[in-house]
Structure 1
Amino acid sequence: MAAAREKPLIEAWTDGGCRPNPGPGGWAAILRWRDHEKELSGAEAETTNNRMELTAAIAALEAPKRPARMIIHTDSEYLRNGVTRWLEGWVRRGWRNAAKDPVANRDLWERLLAAAARHEVEWRWVRGHAGDEMNERADRLATAAREALLASRERSAG
């Protein structure tokens, strides 16, 4: 019997943020597999840091055409804790947090769960702005996406 085809390994570095928070924001994801690399980024006019961090991770998880083994690098404590510590309880409690309040950003958490379901995902936290080359690059891409949005809004207004 032929061995099952092994899922490809894809590493992704994600980042998101906005200035001010809430306000205009940007997100980015950099994916690497074999000898390939892909950059994804985008922006929203009115958002939060947490929504941009989630959006970056979702974009990374939705990008592969086939199921894969994925390592997602993030500097977001919110994303890391949400995925590794809080999410199971939120779902069990009907999308209520420990204080019984509705979970913030439920729409994005549900989308993240759906996107992650087709992959084998390992979440790795990296300290932000601490010299991790790929994390810094994702931060620059997210910032550039936000700045491009602001520039296009200024051109439209002027």
Structure 2
Amino acid sequence: MTDRYQPVIKIYTDGACSGNPGPGAYVAILTFKDKEKILSRHFRLTTNNRMELMAVIDALKAIKTEGRPIEIYSDSKYVVDAVNKHWLTNWKRNGWKKVKNVDLWLEFDKVYQKFKPKLFWVKGHNNHHYNELCDRMAVEALSKPNPETDVMFEKSLENSGFL
């Protein structure tokens, strides 16, 4: 009998915002066997939900090998429930009407369909090692110089007359 065990790629994510909207950042930690890869970005103006979602998108995009099982751990019900409660399926069926952050959800859907990861919700600030680490690092990233521009978000604010 052959061993069918495949090592799992585990992804831990968290987003942070100072104000909502406000400056934002995310951290994603990818683990595979004994390796870790940390991704982080920060933006001058965005929302917490966008950071939570972008963390997962960018983490999945960083994976080079298809066919491995992937588990994503996030304290964002917004992201986890979109998959596990089939909101994503309904949004697509309804033509993405009234969906906030549709630019990111469309991008998420592409990488989600490619990798079909399992998503797990973890309670934030509850002594989960990687969640606490992601949170701490995302908050630290808020104060780094040279933030990126969340172009689609800022464009939506301009179109709504907010900026």
- TM-score of the alignment, normalized to the shorter chain, above 0.5: yes
Distance of 2:108 and 2:88 partners within structure 1: 11
After superposition, the Cα gap between the structure-2 partners of 1:30 and 1:13, relative to the gap in structure 1 and judged at 3 Å, is: same
Distance of 1:7 and 1:65 partners within structure 2: 16
1:95 is matched by which residue type in structure 2? W
How far is 1:123 from its partner?
Answer: 0.4
- Match runs of 1:8-157 below 5 Å: 8-67=7-66, 68-85=68-85, 86-96=87-97, 102-149=98-145, 152=146
Match in the other structure for 1:99? none
Three-state SS of the structure 2 residue aligned to 1:141 is helix
Where do 4+ consecutive residues of structure 1 move more than 2 Å? 5-8
Distance of 1:141 and 1:114 partners within structure 2: 27
How many residues are treated as equivalent by the alignment?
143
Task: Return the TM-score normalized by structure 2.
Answer: 0.82
Three-state SS of the structure 1 residue aligned to 2:123 is coil
Distance of 2:6 and 2:112 partners within structure 1: 14
How far is 1:29 from its partner?
Answer: 0.2
1:70 is matched by which residue type in structure 2? I
Three-state SS of the structure 2 residue aligned to 1:66 is coil
Distance of 1:7 and 1:112 partners within structure 2: 24
Q: Does 65-74 or 76-85 show the bigger shift?
A: 76-85
Task: Return the TM-score normalized by structure 1.
Answer: 0.84
How far is 1:8 from its partner?
Answer: 4.6
How far is 1:14 from its partner?
Answer: 0.3
Unmatched 5+ residue regions in structure 1? 97-101, 154-158
1:29 is matched by which residue type in structure 2? A
